[in-house]
Amino acid sequence: GAGVSQSPSNKVTEKGKDVELRCDPISGHTALYWYRQSLGQGLEFLIYFQGNSAPDKSGLPSDRFSAERTGGSVSTLTIQRTQQEDSAVYLCASSPRGLGFAEQFFGPGTRLTVL
């Protein structure tokens, strides 16, 4: 398919474990975003990648959260020592360019449940 894909679609983990969430953006899109969506809440910005520039990490809630983007394509969001408050849907989006009018194309999200 040509859309943004995310894996896994659902992840259940125990408190204290590390998890990795994957995002495959649309081919050729230079911008990639991670968001967190808690129940009944809007989207909380986490991190933004644009081409080869240093990522904008200003939304990461703690140092347990990190993300990388390899080769300007696939991105992995890692949460270390998960806590129950990390339970949420994690959405990835890509965009053909980083500024201006360009819309974001979203993946289906990963629902993370921390027991």
Instruction: Return residues touching other proteins (CB under 8 A).
Output: 33, 35, 40-43, 45, 48, 50, 56, 58-59, 89, 91, 93, 98-101, 103-104, 106-109, 111
Cβ at position 106, least distance to other proteins in Å: 4
- State residue 85 phi and psi, 5-degree precision: -75, -5
**86 neighbors 79 (Cβ within 8 angstroms):** yes
Using the minimum distance from each CB to other proteins, give the nearer residue, 50 or 82. 50
Cβ at position 95, least distance to other proteins in Å: 9
Q: Give the pairing type, strands 10-13 and 110-114.
A: parallel
Cβ at position 103, least distance to other proteins in Å: 5
Q: How many residues does the chain have?
A: 115
Using the minimum distance from each CB to other proteins, give the nearer residue, 55 or 80. 55
Nearest CA to 11 out of 95, 77, 98, 97 is that of 77
Give residue 103's identity as a one-letter amino acid code: E
Using the minimum distance from each CB to other proteins, give the nearer residue, 14 or 103. 103
